[in-house]
A and B are shown apart, each in its own frame.
Chain A
């Protein structure tokens, strides 16, 4: 029997086979139809000869400890079965479909074959083999060789597959392989972000792609194909030239429909050196061709890049899989191109009957793929034949059709024109993908209702005042106004302003405090024909000065308290309403004769500009009234409605709050400043007033929800100004009548789109354009992007502002006139990324200017934020890229969530949904986000992440000593496989040097260690020690056996066995310098009825002795243990000595026998009383601090076995209680051991932790009870707590002492001198009088530590 290890590619196939045990998509199937009278015997002989001559047809996969091997043996031969369908009801197609989707048992054979009789003159030869031992070229060879054998023609068979395996193994050590490895490492290091065509995401793992021919006329295809014969596509052979051509088309298309610039396409290549051209087996490779499509790239320049990238990939193809990164890339397959499948359509003659091979892909489709893209480049008969395969579950039929159209458009663009190189200068981003109907449909979807042009706001309110003069218009703290009163007041103020020169285009600054003055002032200015400019009294003076400078108001409306604060520019008339209202009220209350034109300036709103100077946005009256008319229609506002206005006047959405109620004849209640700021006040206001509409930012809504607001029946909730998290939307949607998500930039007047979110909504969108408004999602070249593709959101229509008052820098470019639809249109570029969903709704994906580059990868922060927001319990998230000195920028994720959210869950979500490059490098959970005055998150004010330990992965790897025993065993296997010592719980196997081959070995070792089969998916999906252990622990029958794990290896010197812990002792093993191996030993142990005997410690120790002697049959040994492990160590030492072994030293790490504790009841009471008198305020805390201790002491004192017995029987139903250090069970066991312990004749070292809080009434013997039970006893104090002493840096002190002991020649074995150690003792008080033990000089000093601590 011969065998060979799997090649890298075979390993991948095998892993896939195991990862998806129910998916037969690696079945390669060949059918050959045989017409005429077939000589069945002859065919059978031909097949048998074929199998006999080619070892790849006689293989099975054998798993062993280090992975898997391909084993050649006659019993694994593929057999030819005879099937007769001539009389069967089953159709040939049904039979085929059923047959080729069968899972092959690779441990038996690699394939199956059948000769199917369809009729006396028609047969079908069916051949199926797993990809692990077959590829496309092999199928062609099989056809060829079988035909030749049947016809008696000479047969040229290739060298055997095992021979190729040998050559490949040799190649792995060649210089070329080294270069190839370096090439792929570099390629992978560049990183390729995964993408989703048309914004699709895989929704199911079902197998199946739909394949459809590309619908192009013959002339276009011919012209396209002919391109391959010229530069820049020309590359060595016609096949490679065609591949360059096709890849260029694919890159262009994928770039356009994903927006990604870096794209990788896997290209299967035959990879058959001439010698092995006829060898049957898996030889194909799939190198990756990676190209950056940059802005400005033309077809020609892209072809250049593609050709170069393809050539590089091919040169290194034979070593594609040696790099784990490529392995990963293969696991998340990128779109691929199939260039070399022409063979399957070759005409093959077998015997007298002409036959045709066909490629049966009943199991077509790779379920790992989000995108299944295949191009069949069938150069047969000189004709190019293209088909596109798309995953059926991911791409709806309509989308598949659009996708094909778009690819056709790219192909046409490449094909058209003459063959002169000049015609290939078309920029990639200028290729028009969409046809007219598709464009029209998109434009239509983005167009809001064509409502009639809205009347002027002031005229509308006057109308209302005439219709219902007594209706309540305004409600404020100081009273309310009817519509009639409002009209009179407005007119009076307008007349006054008019007398001051206010008219069309004249600006009036509003510098007011919260109250009825605000709406009155705004309306008064508008009624005078002028434009108001809100100025925020809370803003710093410099900013106010800039606003005044840019808006150059003629009049400034303010109130007495504020007037003095402002440095008013010369020439501005200041009207102090506090003083002047009385005079104004005496003016004529009828409407002044003022003309309102639609394009007349209504207001100027200042927002932060990209230059750092606030910019004034000038909005016309028509834009304002259009918004109001649209919003009154939908979401709707009735005369019976009352809106509570919260938003500060300087935020443009306040315009809706001020005017929408008045526009609709309803009432407006001005919320106080406190109402806006304090959610509790807001909640009370909602409870006590008949409010039916409330508009606020998500942040305010969240505060309201958190204040305990249960909801207000009938309330219509308008939410906008920031991204609305699904979590918040879900909380809100049931708390009122309607929830509306509103979206719009100030530059397009308050809101541009609206979406009502109904209960049970699937995702939060911003809906569709409001009246007389048009949305466009465009690419960088101002072209519409297809549905689903991410582009930038542009807005056009009546809502557009007139522009900026004093446009500076880039701001000026935000308004542009671009050709769209029928003609040119003026649009505003929002800077928001968006895509159009199938139902026409727009999904907003965050700011495009939050796009950053981290490690060279372009990243949309908005995308990361939406993923984090989608985690359950996360209320909001902000991601920023922070550049630290001398370092590449890293992503910091800030989030706010409900208290029960586990941060690990949020991080897990990010790991699941985002590519590596988009993983935040640091995480900060905040109680709330810092806000700016508009109630939006102030990104600049986010705190700097403080903990550099979080920098690398965001998850703090648990320290070595914190590993659970299972984790320690997993880590030990990693350590062996990877040759590394410092394995953290959250290290990634593949980033720590693991690759696919090692993963195979890992799985085998895990099986051996734990006795359970871990699904391979678990290794790939959870490639960390922690997650692998979790996966193991989920398996039934996990093997818990006694283990001794090597923590440190040394060739000579007696080993140190540390008991009752594995990883616990890793820091000690690392810190030691002496020549000695270190083992952690753990014996699983369940406390049950039988084990609870006074003999517990000796019994358990006997099992430890067995485990130690299995590892090292004979001494000399060093033995040690922490806490109860030390007690065990004592008994283990005794038993080893009894068995005639030599134990050179016994180390007791803070291990204490109960006999060392002496309780002083009087002191206990006295101490308590003193505390109560001295520090009454601390007593409660103090008592609480001790209460847990009392509880455990109580258990100890009540420590009859019966008590524990019940305790454990109760617990046992859940998990068997294990004896661990620190457990009360261990203390119990120690107590029973105390009575029967016998002395040992071994040098003993006691390491005491100095930082232990013993109750003040407990006196502790300094020898911890050991001196009479040991020989050459010495005591060493180590700073740190009970368990801390085994950790860095404290463990160094222990290691230094042990180094001395271990290095000393055995004959002269002496413990360190006690005197030397006395100096290091950190004792606090010499109250030696109360000592019980005095057999050791050291014991003269009682240890009274921690007595004064709280």
Chain B
């Protein structure tokens, strides 16, 4: 499973995503209310454990974390 799929699976299984919502990779996780502040920390814990990266507070910005797309790119940058 590639990073994108892992992230999507994590989001879909851990957060409440209404059936009515077709979650696109580019959809904002915050704007749709899927991930809140606590959820953001869960996402980070997941990334750190799954991809063996360390996220520091400077990287904790929507540009890195606000969509499945952003997260995937962020992980790629961190791992690469």
Contacts and interface: CB of A to CB of B under 8 A. Distances in A.
Contacts of A277: 16, 36
A237 B40 contact: yes
Given A236-B40, A237-B37, A270-B38, A311 B60 contact: yes
B57 A237 contact: no
Say whether chain A's binding surface is mostly helix, strand, loop, or mixed: helix
6 nearest CB pairs, A to B: A311-B57, A274-B15, A236-B60, A236-B40, A237-B37, A239-B37
| Most A-side CB within 10 Å, residue of B36, B37, B56, B65 | B37
B42 A234 contact: no
Nearest to A272: B38
A314 B44 CA distance: 11
| Most A-side CB within 10 Å, residue of B30, B45, B60 | B60
A240 B60 CA distance: 10
A274 B42 CA distance: 8
Contacts of A270: 36-38
Contact of B36 (A156, A239, A310, A311): A239
A176 B45 contact: yes
A317 B37 CA distance: 12
Contacts of B36: 237, 239, 270, 277
A1072 to B, nearest CB: 51
A270 B57 CA distance: 19
A240 B40 contact: yes
- Interface size bucket, B side? 20 to 34
A838 interface: no
Contacts of A237: 30, 35-37, 40, 62
Interface in B53-68: 56-57, 60-62, 65
A312 B60 CA distance: 12
Given A273-B38, A274-B42, A236 B14 contact: no
Given A273-B39, A310-B57, 20 more contacts: A236-B37, A237-B62, A239-B36, A269-B37, A269-B38, A270-B36, A270-B38, A271-B38, A272-B38, A273-B38, A274-B15, A274-B35, A274-B38, A274-B39, A275-B14, A308-B57, A311-B57, A314-B37, A314-B41, A315-B41
A312 B44 CA distance: 12
Nearest to A309: B57
19 contacts: A176-B45, A234-B61, A236-B40, A237-B37, A238-B30, A239-B37, A240-B37, A240-B60, A272-B38, A273-B14, A273-B42, A274-B14, A274-B35, A277-B16, A307-B57, A311-B56, A311-B57, A312-B57, A314-B41
Nearest to B36: A237
B33 to A, nearest CB: 10
Say whether chain B's binding surface is mostly helix, strand, loop, or mixed: helix
B62 A236 contact: yes
A315 B44 contact: yes
A282 interface: no
A312 B65 CA distance: 17
B48 to A, nearest CB: 10
A521 interface: no
A235 B57 contact: yes
| Most B-side CB within 10 Å, residue of A240, A274, A312 | A274
Interface of A: 156, 176, 234-240, 269-275, 277, 307-308, 310-312, 314-315, 317
B35 to A, nearest CB: 8
A269 B44 CA distance: 17
Contacts of B65: 236
A156 B18 CA distance: 11
A271 B41 CA distance: 10
Contacts of A156: 16
Nearest to A238: B30
Contacts of B39: 273-274
Contact of B16 (A238, A239, A274): A274
Nearest to A244: B57
| Most B-side CB within 10 Å, residue of A156, A236, A272, A273 | A236
Nearest to A277: B16
B61 A235 contact: yes
Nearest to A340: B37
A269 B57 CA distance: 17
Nearest to A275: B14
Contacts of A272: 38
A469 to B, nearest CB: 84
Contacts of B41: 314-315, 317
Contacts of A274: 14-16, 35, 38-39, 42
A311 B37 CA distance: 11
A284 to B, nearest CB: 10
Nearest to A314: B41
Nearest to B43: A236
Contacts of A239: 36-37
A728 to B, nearest CB: 54
A239 B37 CA distance: 7
A238 B28 CA distance: 13
Interface in B12-36: 14-16, 30, 35-36
A453 B44 CA distance: 73
A1136 B45 CA distance: 66
B53 to A, nearest CB: 14
Contact of A236 (B15, B56, B61): B61
Nearest to A234: B61
A239 B60 CA distance: 13
Contacts of B57: 235, 307-308, 310-312
Contacts of A273: 14, 38-39, 42
Nearest to B45: A176
B13 to A, nearest CB: 9
A1334 B32 CA distance: 101
B32 to A, nearest CB: 13
A156 B41 CA distance: 24
A1136 B42 CA distance: 66
Contacts of A176: 45
Contacts of B44: 315
Contacts of A236: 37, 40, 60-62, 65
A280 to B, nearest CB: 16
B79 to A, nearest CB: 20
A176 B14 CA distance: 18
Contacts of B37: 236-237, 239-240, 269-270, 314
Contact of B60 (A235, A238, A271): A235
B54 to A, nearest CB: 11
A587 to B, nearest CB: 85
A235 B57 CA distance: 7
Contacts of A271: 38
A610 B5 CA distance: 70
Contacts of B14: 273-275
| Most A-side CB within 10 Å, residue of B14, B30, B38, B65 | B38
A312 B55 CA distance: 11
A274 B29 CA distance: 13
| Most A-side CB within 10 Å, residue of B14, B41, B65 | B41
A106 B61 CA distance: 43
B65 to A, nearest CB: 6
A156 B17 CA distance: 12
| Most B-side CB within 10 Å, residue of A277, A307, A311, A312 | A311
A275 B39 CA distance: 10
Contacts of B56: 311
A314 B14 CA distance: 19
Interface string B3-14: 000000000001
| Most B-side CB within 10 Å, residue of A307, A315, A317 | A315
Nearest to A317: B41
Contacts of A275: 14
Nearest to A243: B37
Contacts of A311: 56-57, 60
Nearest to A229: B62
| Most A-side CB within 10 Å, residue of B36, B44, B57 | B57
Contacts of B30: 237-238
Nearest to A232: B58
Contacts of B42: 273-274
